[in-house]
Structure 1
Amino acid sequence: MQALDQQYWNNRYQQKETGWDIGYPSTPLKEYIDQLDNKDIAILIPGCGNSYEAEYLLEKGFSNITLIDIAPSLTKKLEEKFAKELNKRIRIITGDFFEQQQQYDLILEQTFFCALDPSMREQYVQKMYELLKPGGKLVGVLFGRSFEGGPPFGGSREEYEPLFSKKFKIEILEACYNSIKPREGTELFVKMARSVNRES
């Protein structure tokens, strides 16, 4: 299988091979954002893509948003797109998610987990744990189906529950009731809190 590295993802964006891009914030995340009262929490969106969720967060008045993506052709466009708010309410990092160090109150998951080779899932869980403040939340959508080849790489609730419960208190892991029509019946909404007593 081809390496899912910076060159791979950069080429996908340059060639507009972005079938995961729906062109607007996904409904499950949009409706979750609508419930948040504290606009000053530190929010991270890893593997951020075209960052429609970040646009929505800015519209709603959030003031501490960080975007990370490995593809420089994409992040350059994002810097232009968010120029007015850049380094004020929004920060854009070109780089590897697994090398990040800062901590956040909330991490939004939207088609990042499914873009990683499944062999990296334990590493993903560990890094999410490290990047969240104690009690911080990992919230988003995971695929609840399998795919031929990949990316995207799918999975199931039965796989995800033991994977995440090592580091997180799982508050919600259930079928999305508000998926967009093309993804109906294939998505799981997740809301997990970083456990405060699981350091290893």
Structure 2
Amino acid sequence: MILSEKFWENKYKTNKIGWDLGEVSAPLKTYFDQLINKDLKILIPGGGNSYEAEYLFNNGFKNVYVVDLSKTALENIKKRVPNFPNSQLILGNFFDLNDTFDLAIEQTFFCAIDPNLREKYAYKMKDLLKSKGKLVGLLFDAKLNTDHPPFGGNRKEYTAYFESYFKMDVFTKCYNSFHNRQGMELFIKLTKN
């Protein structure tokens, strides 16, 4: 299954973005609010409208990078946050990135890629993170769709992808999910080995 730039651009142009909360998710906001080092270099892959990037940037984190296949999604960020550096809004494929980061935020990207790419995602994330870098975010813990995103899964499946590359600091049911995702999300905080 090919989920192309055209596929995602069409989703944003037609506003068929049911996964978009319209705000930073509570679990990620809670995590961000305890971060002290504002110099962290942060990646948000498949960030879409990225209210997470907006929240971080507006709270003093100036090294936030969003990569997405949709030009419209990145333009939406720029409209909301005019001071967000253009060079940190990357129109492109996550798997083509070559930079390194201290922290990567997972918010509905993993569930949007073809499940056949999940092992590749874990490996790529390991390459993109600096030594002791962290992957933090949310993964669906539910059976969802098999023929289009969002694709679901479970902790056992996900552990198999990540355990070779990361220490599982936190990998648990999310207690403060958005109301329509209650009981369907895992909160993860993984540290690169």
Instruction: State the match for 1:23 in structure 2.
Output: 22
Instruction: State the match for 1:49 in structure 2.
Output: 48
CA RMSD between the two structures: 1.2
- Match for residue 107 of structure 2 among 89, 93, 110: 110
AA in 2 matched with 1:110? Q
TM-score by length of 2: 0.95
Counterpart Cα distance in 2 of 1:19 and 1:155 = 19
1:36-61 Cα shifts (integer Å, max 9, x gaps): 00000100101011110111112221
Give the 3-state SS of the residue equivalent to 1:189 in structure 2.
strand
- Match for residue 186 of structure 1 among 171, 184, 187: 184
5 Å-filtered alignment, 1:88-167, equals 91-149=88-146, 150-167=148-165
Deviation of the 1:102 alpha carbon: 0.5
AA in 2 matched with 1:190? I
Pairs aligned (count): 192
**Is the contact between residue 145 and residue 152 of structure 2 (CA under 8 Å) also seen in structure 1?**
no
Give the 3-state SS of the residue equivalent to 1:10 in structure 2.
helix
1:9 and 2:8 correspond: yes
The percentage of aligned residue pairs carrying the same residue is 47
Deviation of the 1:79 alpha carbon: 3.0
Deviation of the 1:84 alpha carbon: 1.8
Counterpart Cα distance in 1 of 2:116 and 2:63 = 32
Give 5+ residue unaligned stretches, structure 2. Answer: none
Runs of 4+ in 1 over 3 A off after TM superposition: none
AA in 2 matched with 1:42? K
TM-score by length of 1: 0.92
Counterpart Cα distance in 2 of 1:167 and 1:20 = 28
Give the 3-state SS of the residue equivalent to 1:113 in structure 2.
coil
Give 5+ residue unaligned stretches, structure 1. Answer: 196-200
